Amino acid sequence: MNATLHNDRLLRALLRQPVDATPVWLMRQAGRYLPEYRAARARAGSFMALCQTPEWACEVTLQPLARFPLDAAILFSDILTVPDAMGLGLTFSDGEGPQFARPLRSAADIARLAVPDPEAALRYVMDAVRLIRRELAGRVPLIGFAGSPWTLATYMVEGGSSKDYHRIKGLLYDQPGLLHRLLEVTAQAVTLYLNAQIAAGAQAVMIFDTWGGILTPRAYREFSLRYMAQIVAGLTREAENRAVPVILFTKGGGAWLEAIAATGCDAVGVDWTVDLGEVRRRIGTQVALQGNLDPAVLYAAPERIREQVAQVLADFGTGPGHVFNLGHGVQPGVDPERVGTLVAAVHELSASQPPHGDA
- Least distance in angstroms from the C-beta of 199 to ligand 1CP: 19
In terms of CB distance, is 121 or 128 closer to ligand 1CP? 128
Which residues are marked as active site? 28, 32, 41, 78, 155
Closest to 122 (Cα-Cα) out of 130, 112, 111? 130
In terms of CB distance, is 92 or 227 closer to ligand 1CP? 92
In terms of CB distance, is 161 or 285 closer to ligand 1CP? 161
- Least distance in angstroms from the C-beta of 355 to ligand 1CP: 31
Closest to 100 (Cα-Cα) out of 156, 184, 173, 164? 156
> In 3-state terms, what secondary structure has residue 265?
coil
Buried-state track 6-34, b at ≥16 Cβ within 10 A, e below 16: ebbbbbbbbbbbebebbbbbbbbbbbebb
> Beta strand 267-269 with 288-293: parallel, antiparallel or unpaired?
parallel
> Beta strand 242-243 with 238-239: parallel, antiparallel or unpaired?
antiparallel
Residue nearest to ligand 1CP (CB): 161
Contact 133, 79 (CB under 8 A): no
How far apart, in whole angstroms, are the C-alpha atoms of residue 17 and residue 65? 24
* Strand spans (E) along the chain: 73-74, 90-92, 98-100, 142-147, 204-209, 238-239, 242-243, 246-250, 267-269, 288-293, 322-326
In terms of CB distance, is 68 or 92 closer to ligand 1CP? 92
- Least distance in angstroms from the C-beta of 27 to ligand 1CP: 5
- Least distance in angstroms from the C-beta of 332 to ligand 1CP: 8
Bond into 292 cis (ω within 30): yes
- Least distance in angstroms from the C-beta of 86 to ligand 1CP: 15
In terms of CB distance, is 84 or 266 closer to ligand 1CP? 84
Where along the sequence are the contacts to ligand 1CP (CB under 6 A)? 27-32, 41, 47, 74, 76, 78-80, 92, 97-98, 145, 161, 208, 210, 329
Buried-state track 90-109, b at ≥16 Cβ within 10 A, e below 16: bebeeeeebbbeebbeeeeb
